[in-house]
């Protein structure tokens, strides 16, 4: 009768094998977002973070972590609106999102009025941001405001000013949410205050959206695109109306996914 040989594997060898299996498993399941920058999207005037919901879903499907901070007094935070809300309030909204979510290596996107906001955020947190992206947006310098940059191009806004707010003419009183909301006038009149020279070296990209069949130089944001060009930033052009998040979400998400 043969005697069975019992092989005893040392406990340390078993533990080492378990560690190796665990590490291999973790690497295999490591999300793509861990190796990609975080994208933070700041919406424009009257709007809300809800407008970029589809763009976020498309970017997340490509492996990105995406945040859509809601500016105070608009969108889901319309119940907090008050005349005292200014550009500095909205800058603080995004700064706090970045700080409390502990975000780093950020591609910070600003749409339209959001360009004013992300410029102020970059001045506050330049070490957290890898690139600024201006999506058909204002590219301001120190001391400028929306009204000063718009100049005569912004004359159409005057008819929408009702007291301390700029009320969107395209929203009906009985229109259910999500919808655009009155914009506190101070957000357009408050000058941008920039103090951090370190922010001046941040790279940027400008995305100019142009309606099909129209010339780029006739676009309302052409002057801002030219300012971006003067700063040495690449200018990308997307065939879409001003709200590309609705008219061309797939193309916009693809373009944002390639920005580095």
Residue 141 annotated in active site: no
> What is the distance between the alpha carbons of residues 166 and 74, in angstroms, rounded to a whole number?
12
Whether 89 and 70 have beta carbons less than 8 Å apart is answered as: no
> What is the distance between the alpha carbons of residues 212 and 72, in angstroms, rounded to a whole number?
34
Catalytic residue among 25, 88, 112, 130: 112
| Pairing mode, strands 66-67 and 38-42 | parallel
Tokens of 249: 């979400």
Alpha-helical runs (H) found in the chain? 11-28, 53-61, 87-100, 114-124, 146-150, 186-189, 222-230, 244-247, 249-258
- Sequence-ordered strand ranges (E) for 124-176: 129-135, 161-162, 165-166
Strand partners, 134: 110, 206
The length of the chain is 260
Ordered strands of the 66-67 beta sheet: 66-67, 38-42, 106-111, 129-135, 204-210, 235-239
Tokens of 55: 């763009």
In a 3-state reduction of DSSP, which class is residue 253?
helix
Active site residues: 112
């Amino acid at each position: 009768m043969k005697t069975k040989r019992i092989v005893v594997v040392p406990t340390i060898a078993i533990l080492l094998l378990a560690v190796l299996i665990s590490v291999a498993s973790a690497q295999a399941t490591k999300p793509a977002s861990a190796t990609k920058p975080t994208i933070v999207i700041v919406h424009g005037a009257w709007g809300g973070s809800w407008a970029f919901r589809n763009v976020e879903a498309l970017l997340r499907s490509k492996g990105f972590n995406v945040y859509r901070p809601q500016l105070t007094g608009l969108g889901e935070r319309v119940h907090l609106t008050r005349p005292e809300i200014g550009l500095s309030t909205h800058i603080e909204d995004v700064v706090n999102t970045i700080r409390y979510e502990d975000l780093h290596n950020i591609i910070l996107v600003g749409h339209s009025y959001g360009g004013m906001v992300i410029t102020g955020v970059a001045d506050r947190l330049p070490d957290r941001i890898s690139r600024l992206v201006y999506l058909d947006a204002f590219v301001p310098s120190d001391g400028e405001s929306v009204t000063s940059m718009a100049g005569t191009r912004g004359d159409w806004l005057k008819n929408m000013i009702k007291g301390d707010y700029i009320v969107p003419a395209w929203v009906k009183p009985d229109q259910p949410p999500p919808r655009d909301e009155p914009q506190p006038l101070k957000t357009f009149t408050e000058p941008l205050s920039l103090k951090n020279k370190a922010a001046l070296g941040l790279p940027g990209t400008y995305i100019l959206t142009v309606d099909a069949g129209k010339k780029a130089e006739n676009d309302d944001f052409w002057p801002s695109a030219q300012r971006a060009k003067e700063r040495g930033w690449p200018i990308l052009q997307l065939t879409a109306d001003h709200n590309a998040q609705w008219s061309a979400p797939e193309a916009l998400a693809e373009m944002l996914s390639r920005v580095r």
